[in-house]
Amino acid sequence: MTKPDTTPALELTGIGKEFGAIRALHDVDMQIRSGEVVGLMGDNGAGKSTLVKIIAGNFRPSHGEIRLAGNAVHFNRPIDARAVGIEVVYQDLALADNLTAAANVFLGRELKRRFGPFALLDHKAMAARALELFGELRSETRPDDFVKQMSGGQRQAVAIARTRLSNARLVMMDEPTAAISVRQVEQVLSLIRRLKEQGVAVMLISHRMPDVFAVCDRVIVMRRGEKRADKPIHQTSPEEVTALITGAKEAA
């Protein structure tokens, strides 16, 4: 496979993070190219979530540098990361139960129409766009239904639809397939493939080995806050990855 664009979409160098005396991350380097799907694996407490939160702008790294398409970036808030094209689907999905699907998709970036000095919400446009996005995700979700009445898969669709609003360069998904049905897992995986076709870089954080091996080009294994392996998927095996996660094998 040829790689026309050699500048990585995202490049991390020497990222470290301490919370008081706890060292959550130590000297992590990684690169993701556009159109590449990278699996990020590791046991609980391995540092995956911390790494995701640093890239998403929730935490500032204690050490190291983040480069996006070659330019160093500093995020103070999640909205800064979003502004440059980094989208996250959080594990708990970050949905407000008391709002509708469409309201959740557009949360924080509502479409508005101006009436003189006032800007009022454009409910129709938001519902129409949300329905379009749910259609792309093949999810039977009504934009006007409340999230509290929805199934796990529908909630997932709402959270993923959110990332499709903007032209994201990097989408990070934190355990997107953990709590949904088999059929819906297949839908989420096909969505990831579609993102890849569009040239979006995807980082899949997952415990589910079959999902990672089904869609990822490369797998990165974290253990005790350090990167222990970074291999193309066809040069490794579920057995090796499991050994790396548990520490039976130190590094590869």
Partner 1 sequence: MAMPMESPITFTNVGKTKWWQRGLFASQTGYVLLALAVLLLVMHFASPYFFTQGNMQNVAKNFSFIAIATLGVTFVIITGGIDLSIGSMMCFSAMITSMVMTELSMPGSPAGSLFVHMASDGKTVLANVPGLILLVSVFAGLGAALIVGLVNGFCIAVLGLSPFVTTLGMLSIVRGLGYVVSNGRGSFPGGPDADYFYAATSGDVFGVPAPFIYLVMLALAMAVVLHHTSFGRHVFALGGNEKAAELTGIPVVRVKIEVYVICALAAGLQGIIISGWLGSAPANMATSYELNVIAAAVIGGANLAGGIGGPLGAIVGCVLLEVIRNGLVLAQVSSYWQQTLVGVIIILAVLVDRIRSRVS
Cβ nearer to partner 1, comparing 13 with 151: 151
Whole-angstrom Cα distance, residue 126 to residue 119?
A: 14
Q: What are the tokens at 209?
A: 């080995």
Cβ nearer to partner 1, comparing 72 with 120: 120
Q: What are the tokens at 250?
A: 């130190």
Q: In 3D, which of 244, 184, 249 has the Cα closest to residue 39?
A: 244
Cβ nearer to partner 1, comparing 194 with 249: 194
Cβ nearer to partner 1, comparing 131 with 170: 131
Whole-angstrom Cα distance, residue 161 to residue 102?
A: 9
Q: How far is the CB of 220 from partner 1 (least distance, A)?
A: 23
Identify whether the C-beta of residue 190 lies closer than 8 Å to the C-beta of residue 198.
no
Q: How far is the CB of 37 from partner 1 (least distance, A)?
A: 16
Strand partners, 63: 16
Show Cβ contacts of residue 138 under 8 Å, excluding neighbours closer than 6 positions: 187, 190
Cβ nearer to partner 1, comparing 151 with 242: 151
> For residue 194, which amino acid is it?
R
Q: How far is the CB of 194 from partner 1 (least distance, A)?
A: 6
Residues that bind partner 1 in the complex, under the rule CB under 8 A: 58, 77-79, 82, 88, 90, 92-99, 103, 107-110, 112, 118-121, 123, 131-132, 134-136, 138-142, 145, 149, 154, 162, 167, 194, 198
